[in-house]
Amino acid sequence: MKPNIQHVAEKAQVSKATVSRVLNNNPQVKGEIRERVLRAIEELGYRPSVIARNLATNRTNNIGLILPDITNPYFPVLARGVEDAARRLGYTLYISNTDNDPSIEQEIIYKMAEQQVGGILLISSALDEQTVNELTSLRTPIVLCDRLIANKPFDAVLIDDYKAAAEAVGYLIGLGHKRIAHLAGPRNIQSAESRRAGYLDTMHAAQLDPFISVGSFSYESGVHQMGAVIDEYGPTAIFAANDLLALGAMQEINRRGLRVPEDISVIGCDDIAYCSMSRPTLSTISIPAYQIGVTAVQLLDDQIKGVSTGSKNVILDHRLLHRESCSGVDQR
Amino acid sequence: MKPNIQHVAEKAQVSKATVSRVLNNNPQVKGEIRERVLRAIEELGYRPSVIARNLATNRTNNIGLILPDITNPYFPVLARGVEDAARRLGYTLYISNTDNDPSIEQEIIYKMAEQQVGGILLISSALDEQTVNELTSLRTPIVLCDRLIANKPFDAVLIDDYKAAAEAVGYLIGLGHKRIAHLAGPRNIQSAESRRAGYLDTMHAAQLDPFISVGSFSYESGVHQMGAVIDEYGPTAIFAANDLLALGAMQEINRRGLRVPEDISVIGCDDIAYCSMSRPTLSTISIPAYQIGVTAVQLLDDQIKGVSTGSKNVILDHRLLHRESCSGVDQR
DNA sequence: ATGAAAGCGCTAACAG
DNA sequence: CTGTTAGCGCTTTCAT
């Protein structure tokens, strides 16, 4: 039979309360007694019941990570950051996928709240006020990663997507490109929208004619969109909203007998591992995914422990990575 | 204040027990009363406390997935299979990384057992009897994925690694290759050992001189090992224990001015998404990772529900995928 | 510094 | 079919 706190108490000839105190490192237990309890615990092989503790304290040491799709190579890196940081702080981690579907997202949020998670890390696919209201009514600590929601005051860790996109497009323009198309992500994703805006504004500022193709952040979508972009626009350069799209685009460009970067330059966003394995290697905006995960957990921990000083957005630095997939337009 | 079961009972003018019954879909509650309770629940916005239920029943609806590294593109696919199946069955999913370190693995197993998970899905890096003993002493349902432990009778879902390796090497031999090197995985990983054995036996059976380089299942390791293999062995073909190694090998082959497959053929194992994006595309052994995840959850669910009929190993089919990275040796 | 006792919110016999 | 009554194993006042 599995021993409980009562058994330990009897064996050590103390009360349950005292056992509980040494379990929780309460300093006001005298050395000798503490020793006795510890020995009893040892001899019985006693392990406190997390479940019972949860009920008594009405909280858990679990946190949840809700993300679009762990199968997209960007997210595992972020998830590793989260897991490593969470484990260091003694949290156990739930992970769930939404497939960028706001209704699934909501369902999962409720499920996690129901599990009494201490807090939630959310990479959201929802932009609307309603989601915000439901989220706040949960009264569960929340930290947003990568994507804001309706500019509402949740803690968040992200990069400056607008600026990143502007830099990427500016880089292409600096290379002499004039026909630069954008492979955009889904319209319900905030970071995708910011990148899109950064693209558009930069194109307009340079008096260039923009062209946007909307897709779904996947490799297949990149392949498919790229075909249409070539047919309808005839670009010399592509700014893709993420690397998977960029990789798909490169694939289609090659399939048509065109070359990267000689015929069409391509730049992506995220800096997933494949970027440096592909041929040519893919220039991109590097996002510190691991660090985002780590930072988000810290913010969440602050909220949970109640040391949080008002909501804050942490903007981490991105970096434009020059690899082989972009070249000057006059090299053609 | 958050309503509890007592509040609902009062509002509906019934006992807590009755409320509990409708909560658990106990059919023996009369229609009219059930309606009343449901209405009360609705009006109060009552949500049962999972924590309290866990304590009362002494079990949770959580299961844990313990894997080497979610950052290796093979595992997210398996994890998606697990998550989708788990969600369908009403389980919430913990995920944790071991980095193939047996001591971390053990620590995580204990942590999860402590969380009173209903069961554990384990991709283990441990081969020894001791691990087995500790695992069985936990009395927590366990299903192994991909990798067995000391051939002990745990439920497991995997492929026939030995046979897969033999097929891959046989394929290379059929292409006319004689100098076929193997980039092997860590020695503490059962699947890696089986693949290694499959390679060795097939080489010996064909009277060929084998060459093995041991690494760590990573792209960087592939790059590094490949250099040594070229210098020390001079292969015309490579069988890598996983795709990341194969991709790294291709990278190094190219860096040295050699070509795949003209100078050296390469075949991997796993069939991660990137295999069909690379240039040349990578021939490999396809492993049904998603299906492994789904199947493993089903077995675990059976164990948890107690309908399990003795321990069983489910062997799923692999498939040799012919892509561009292998060619006949006489084409050189 | 330690103990006694009252819960935390739910489930599960057992009665009726 | 519904209610009564004990717990589940721990934490946490409140005394001592």
List, for residues A3-50, the tens digit of each pLDDT value. 999 999 999 999 999 999 999 999 888 888 999 999 999 999 999 999
Tell me the residue type at B81: G
Burial call A28-46: b when 16+ CB within 10 Å, e when fewer? ebeeebbebbeebbeebeb
Angle (CA) A251 A232 A193, round 5°: 75
Tell me the residue type at B331: Q
Mention every residue, 6+ apart, whose C-beta is less than 8 A from residue A255.
none
Q: Mean pLDDT over residues B88-98, rounded? A: 97
Instruction: Check CB contact under 8 Å for B96 and A76.
Output: no
Handedness of CA B174, B169, B182, B216 (dihedral sign): positive
CB B156 within 8 A of CB B149: no
B87: tokens are: 């969600």
Minimal Cα–Cα distance from B199 to chain A, Å? 26
According to the model, what pLDDT value does residue A311 have? 78
Q: Mean pLDDT over residues B293-307, rounded? A: 94
Among A79, A92, A116, select the one facing B115 at the smallest CB separation.
A92
Cβ-Cβ pairs closer than 8 A, A with B, add up to: 110
More confident position, A329 or B264: B264
Separation of B85 CA and D9 C1' (Å): 32
Residues of chain B contacting residue A117, judged by C-beta atoms under 8 Å apart = none
B331 pLDDT above the threshold of 70: no
A240: tokens are: 């893709």
Report chain D positions within 7 A of protein CB atoms: 1-13
Residue in A292, A279, A282 with CA at minimum distance from that of residue A318: A292
Among B49, B79, B111, select the one facing A92 at the smallest CB separation.
B111
What are chain A's domains?
5-49 (1.10.260.40), 59-159+291-318 (3.40.50.2300), 161-288+320-331 (3.40.50.2300)
Q: Mean pLDDT over residues B286-304, rounded? A: 97
Asked if the Cβ of residue A57 lies within 7 A of any atom of strand C, the reply is no
Q: Mean pLDDT over residues A154-181, rounded? A: 97
Asked if the Cβ of residue A253 lies within 7 A of any atom of strand C, the reply is no
Separation of B186 CA and D4 C1' (Å): 61
Max distance between CA atoms of chain A, in angstroms, equals: 86
Q: Which residue of B has its CA nearest to A50?
A: B115
Query: For D13, which residue's CA is nearest its C1'?
Result: A17
Using the CA of A53, give the nucleotide whose C1' is nearest. D10
Instruction: Check CB contact under 8 Å for A94 and B97.
Output: no
Burial of A4 (C-beta count, 10 Å sphere; 0-12/13-18/19+): middle
pLDDT of B21-58, one tens digit each?
Answer: 999 998 888 888 999 999 999 999 999 999 999 999 99
Q: DSSP characters for B28-77?
A: TS-HHHHHHHHHHHHHHT----HHHHHHHHT--SEEEEEES-TTSTHHHH
Residue B115 to residue B98: CA distance in whole angstroms: 18
Among A51, A83, A94, select the one facing B92 at the smallest CB separation.
A94
Separation of A204 CA and C13 C1' (Å): 75
Mean pLDDT of chain B: 94
Residue B127 to residue B123: CA distance in whole angstroms: 11
Q: Mean pLDDT over residues B229-254, rounded? A: 97
Asked if the Cβ of residue A124 lies within 7 A of any atom of strand C, the reply is no
Using the CA of A4, give the nucleotide whose C1' is nearest. D9
According to the model, what pLDDT value does residue B332 have? 44
**Model confidence band, residue B330 (pLDDT cutoffs 50, 70, 90):** low
Using the CA of B28, give the nucleotide whose C1' is nearest. D1
**Model confidence band, residue B4 (pLDDT cutoffs 50, 70, 90):** very high
Minimal Cα–Cα distance from B149 to chain A, Å? 25
CB A225 within 8 A of CB A249: yes
**Least confidently predicted of A77-81, A325-329, B123-127, B306-310:** B306-310
Q: Mean pLDDT over residues A164-177, rounded? A: 98
Q: Mean pLDDT over residues B85-109, rounded? A: 95
Q: DSSP characters for B201-233?
A: HHHHHTT---EEEE--SSHHHHHHHHHHHHHHT
φ/ψ of A216, rounded to 5, equals -130, 25
A331 pLDDT above the threshold of 60: no
**Least confidently predicted of A233-247, A302-316, B177-191:** A302-316
According to the model, what pLDDT value does residue A139 have? 85
A226 pLDDT above the threshold of 50: yes
CB A281 within 8 A of CB A275: yes
Judge if the upstream peptide bond of residue B261 is cis by omega within 30 degrees of 0.
yes
Among B76, B115, B247, select the one facing A50 at the smallest CB separation.
B115
Q: Which helix (H) or strand (E) holds B120?
A: strand B119-122
pTM value is: 0.95
**Strand D footprint, Cβ within 7 Å:** A 2, 4-6, 16-17, 20-21, 23-24, 46, 48-49, 52-53, 55-57; B 13-18, 21, 28-30, 32-34, 55-56, 58
Residue A236 to residue A266: CA distance in whole angstroms: 9
Q: Mean pLDDT over residues A134-163, rounded? A: 91
B94: tokens are: 């913990």
Report chain C positions within 7 A of protein CB atoms: 1-13
Q: Mean pLDDT over residues A158-169, rounded? A: 98
According to the model, what pLDDT value does residue A330 have? 66
Among A83, A277, A278, select the one facing B97 at the smallest CB separation.
A83
B92 pLDDT above the threshold of 80: yes
Tokens 């909280």 sit on residue = A59
- DSSP 8-state symbol, A150: T
More confident position, B132 or B40: B40
According to the model, what pLDDT value does residue A332 have? 44
Burial call A130-167: b when 16+ CB within 10 Å, e when fewer? ebbeebeeeebbbbbbbbbbeeeebbbbbbebbbbbbb
According to the model, what pLDDT value does residue A103 have? 93
B255 pLDDT above the threshold of 50: yes
Angle (CA) A276 A281 A286, round 5°: 60
Residue in A79, A124, A78 with CA at minimum distance from that of residue A289: A78
Residue B121 to residue B82: CA distance in whole angstroms: 9
Residue B272 to residue A161: CA distance in whole angstroms: 29
Angle (CA) B181 B183 B187, round 5°: 125
Q: Percentage of residues in chain A with pLDDT exceeding 90? A: 87
A271 pLDDT above the threshold of 70: yes
Q: Mean pLDDT over residues A82-94, rounded? A: 97
